[in-house]
Amino acid sequence: MSKIKNNPKAILPKGFKDSDIEILNLRKKVSKIIEKECLKYGFIELDTSTIEYTESIGKFLPDVDRPSGGVFSFQDDDEKWLSLRYDLTAPLARYVAQNYQDLVKPFKRYQSGLVWRNEKPGPGRYREFFQFDADVVGVDSTLIDAELCVMVCDILINLGLNTSQFEIKFSNREIWTELFSNLDVKEDDLPKILRAVDKKDRLGIEGVNELLQKGRKDVSGDFMEGVGLSETDADKIISFITNSNQSNAQMEEFNSYIKNFPDYPIRFDSSVVRGLDYYTGMIFEAELLVDIKNEKGEKIVFGSVAGGGRYDRLISRFGKEDVPATGISIGVDRLIVALNQLDLLDNKKNPLVVIANLDNQNMPDYISMAKEIRNEGIACEISFGSKNLGKQLKYCDRKGADIVIIAGDEELKKGEISIKDLNKGKEVSKDIVDRDKWKEAKAGQQTINRSDLMTALNEILN
């Protein structure tokens, strides 16, 4: 009797995605522009570990009802708990505490990489995503917070956006602390209140009001539990987040820097709270003011593409004195979605030359040509599969090759090769099955001396 074989299904877990070459190229392009701006402002690069001790990074995420407080965790052989980093800030705090005496302070670092959150997945909301962070450790003045906001403006402008297409909104956690002192709420409810307010852009004022009190159903039908505040306290919070005339000493200092950039869209909004629990002072978010559509073509509330703030007590968790710190995190993948829809990203691929393989006996000649092409910094493949020319040309079509080189016995004996500009001769594989058909297809095709290979390629590619 044969055993039943249970093969695994070839599917991804919910909330995760594969990134193809197009996304990877765009990610590199956007990251390079961000990196260039960070370097202008004196930041240096640092790469921290993707896995940390759970107690080191703490649990500051908004989705606390998920397993492990929204963090992916596992137990090591020594029974200590480890976690995948949920952002790039908590690992930085560990790094600074561990290397504090050796760091030049202020310490300004930028970093890019994947982060993971064990949160409820949804449309456009992934549990693995790419971030780019810039942080400053050792500066108490909020002038540096303001400079970070200006730097984010410079980044968005250099990515092709104009100042009418985005805005930076800022607030301050200390004005919230003052508000809470005048409310009849439990301390355990304070993070819940901030998380409810943080959903204002997505749910609107009415949705926040429902979350502050009894709760609400989301679009999927799931019930979101409310904080349980009285109607009176909820009304005070709603009144607070709609009041645009608030300030304190930190914001006055912040504004003294911002006023030097009157054309930059940076404004106060008390409803900015940021979901993470480690923020202590200035907080800020960058939002796009353009229409973004989902996969169904529907306009959606896109939310922030960057956010951050001051976290002056995060490093002191490791037994250090309070170390002032602030930073900004940029959602690169979210930016790519928006910039693509606005046609602001040129995803021009690197050129590719394919050498058709008509006979393995000619392989030394093919290898010689490939070496010459690659030495000039141009990507080149030799076809090692089917000897059928039609199939090789179909491969060129699907791979998006720019040039194909044909060189059989006859050509090589004469010291000649044939090359075809595939961008001129579209659908080259449609009717070509052999070399005779190839010779008849003249579009974009030329026969050259073997010694003129690089001259001909450069003329086509440039």
CATH number, position 454: 3.40.50.800
Tokens linked to 31? 């990251």
Say whether both 336 and 370 belong to one domain: no
Residue 157, classified by CB atoms within 10 Å of its CB into exposed (0-12), middle (13-18) or buried (19+), is middle
Last residue of a domain, one of 306, 341, 376: 341
The Cα 12–Cα 126 span in angstroms is 12
Say whether both 310 and 387 belong to one domain: no
Say whether both 209 and 310 belong to one domain: yes
Say whether both 177 and 226 belong to one domain: yes
Q: Is position 137 within any domain?
A: yes
Asked which of 68-72, 99-103, 166-170, 418-422 is least confident by mean pLDDT, the reply is 68-72
Tokens linked to 207? 């949705």
Last residue of a domain, one of 309, 341, 373: 341
Asked which of 39-53, 218-232, 242-256 is least confident by mean pLDDT, the reply is 218-232
CB distance 394 to 429 below 8 Å: yes
Q: How confident is the model at residue 196 (pLDDT cuts 50, 70, 90)?
A: confident
The Cα 152–Cα 41 span in angstroms is 11
Q: How confident is the model at residue 57 (pLDDT cuts 50, 70, 90)?
A: confident
Least Cα distance to 71 among 61, 189, 141, 79 occurs for: 61
The Cα 240–Cα 235 span in angstroms is 8
Residue 427 has pLDDT above 80, yes or no: no
Q: How confident is the model at residue 321 (pLDDT cuts 50, 70, 90)?
A: confident
Rg (CA), the chain: 29
Mean residue pLDDT of the chain comes to 88
pLDDT in tens, 380-426: 999 998 888 889 989 998 889 999 999 999 899 999 999 999 987 66
Q: Is position 7 within any domain?
A: no
Q: Is position 9 within any domain?
A: no
Bridge partners, residue 224, by sequence? 216
Which residue has better confidence, 60 or 186? 186
Enumerate residues 6+ apart whose C-beta is below 8 A from 235: none
pLDDT in tens, 74-95: 898 888 999 999 999 999 999 9
Q: Is position 256 within any domain?
A: yes
Say whether both 203 and 97 belong to one domain: yes
Which residue has better confidence, 2 or 136? 136
- Which range marks the domain in which residue 444 is found? 352-461
Last residue of a domain, one of 341, 376, 409: 341
Q: Is position 447 within any domain?
A: yes
Q: How confident is the model at residue 115 (pLDDT cuts 50, 70, 90)?
A: very high
List the CATH number of the domain containing 249: 3.30.930.10
Say whether both 317 and 357 belong to one domain: no
Q: Is position 448 within any domain?
A: yes
Q: Is position 33 within any domain?
A: yes
Q: Is position 13 within any domain?
A: no
Least Cα distance to 441 among 457, 454, 429 occurs for: 429
Say whether both 91 and 47 belong to one domain: yes
Say whether both 180 and 230 belong to one domain: yes
Say whether both 335 and 356 belong to one domain: no
pLDDT in tens, 17-51: 998 888 899 999 999 999 999 999 999 999 999 99
Say whether both 313 and 400 belong to one domain: no
Residue 98 has pLDDT above 60, yes or no: yes
Say whether both 332 and 399 belong to one domain: no
pLDDT in tens, 142-190: 999 999 999 999 999 999 999 999 999 999 999 888 888 888 888 888 8
Domain count, the chain: 2
- Tell me how far apart the 2 most distant CA atoms of the chain are, in Å: 93
Mean pLDDT computed over 322-336: 93
The Cα 295–Cα 291 span in angstroms is 13
CB distance 132 to 31 below 8 Å: yes
Say whether both 312 and 364 belong to one domain: no
State percent of the chain over pLDDT 70: 92
pLDDT value, residue 178: 87
The Cα 112–Cα 27 span in angstroms is 10
Q: How confident is the model at residue 432 (pLDDT cuts 50, 70, 90)?
A: low
